[in-house]
Amino acid sequence: MNSFLSDWNQMIKPRVSSLVLATAVPGLYLGSPSAPSTLLVFMTMLGTFLMSSASFIFNQILEKDRDAKMKRTANRPIPAGRISKAQAWIVGFAMTFAAFAVLYYFANLLTAICAFAALLAYVFLYTILLKPRTHQNIVIGGVAGCVGPLIGYAAVSNSLPLPAWILFLMIFLWTPAHFWALAIFLKEDYSDANFPMLPVVKGVKETGRSILFYTVLYVGSVIAFYWAEPSMGWLYMISSVVLSISIIYLSVKLFQNPEPKFARGFFFFSILHLFLINILILIDHSIAA
């Protein structure tokens, strides 16, 4: 039983999905003049989690052969033979249907479409089309991971206002730097699997330069949200500036020393940074309310 749960935990990647959920929460509270119902929040989170989980299942089905060539992924349930592709297809489609139904019934059609569009982007645009073909895969394909704010705003307002798109842009610009840091300390794995990741194609020095570039753009979007969202106050502005100086410092350090240990540090701090920015948004909004 423990092995069964462990295998499906690897398939649905709940820790990665938690970041998508974290980015959806601010939209749920900023998108409406009054606090959303507990039921709406829970069901929106559930539907988003199911759709995100389904996308990871489809990704692992499609990348079975490449996963088998990488040390990091060779023991995943499908390449290791513990879960069949047929089982994974069934669970993936069931989760997709359930997610769309939950979001449509408890929120609205726009919310369900936003979540489903993210799945399509991750499976077709990123996994099938871009990831095996270009080192810019995560820049374009990264849109799949940016829809959390759109889902949140759509669920409470049935609309996608400017602040939702600024948050979307924030995650879009965060994703390349975050992922390329991962690719630096997993460079050999990606090379063995013939994935044209930026460190493999252009080298770690160029990757460090690109990480710095996108980090600066990401920080710009973080600051821009202060001006786009009226409920943001000085707490958000001051805290986000301090956090942003920290991540720029780490990106400069990585650019100067594009080594795996610095890439690993930047990778984990970037996750913390995005979480903290979303928490600050919620706190400042609650103060203003």
Domain spans in the chain, listed from the N-terminal domain onward:
1-159, 161-289
pLDDT value of residue 289: 63
**Mean pLDDT rounded to a whole number for the chain:** 90
- Residue carrying the six token digits 């997993």: 186
pLDDT at residue number 100: 98
User: CATH 1.10.15: does it fit domain 161-289?
Assistant: no
Task: Check residue 142 and give its pLDDT.
Answer: 74
- Per CATH, 1-159 and 161-289 having the same topology is answered no
pLDDT, tens digit, for every residue of 136-185?
777 777 777 889 999 999 999 999 999 999 999 999 999 999 999 998 98
Specify the pTM: 0.89
CA distances from 93 to 45, 51, 58, 78 (A): 18, 10, 9, 16
Residue 268: count other Cβ atoms within 10 Å of its Cβ: 13
Distance CA 28, CA 118 (A): 18
* CA–CA dist 117, 115 (Å, integer): 5
- Hey, what CATH class is 1-159 in? mainly alpha
Give the residue ranges of the chain where pLDDT is below 50: none
Whole-number pLDDT of residue 1: 64
Distances (CA, A) of 226 to 6, 24, 173, 271, 283: 41, 18, 17, 20, 13
CA distance 245 to 238: 11
Burial of 215 (0-12, 13-18, 19+ CB in 10 A): buried
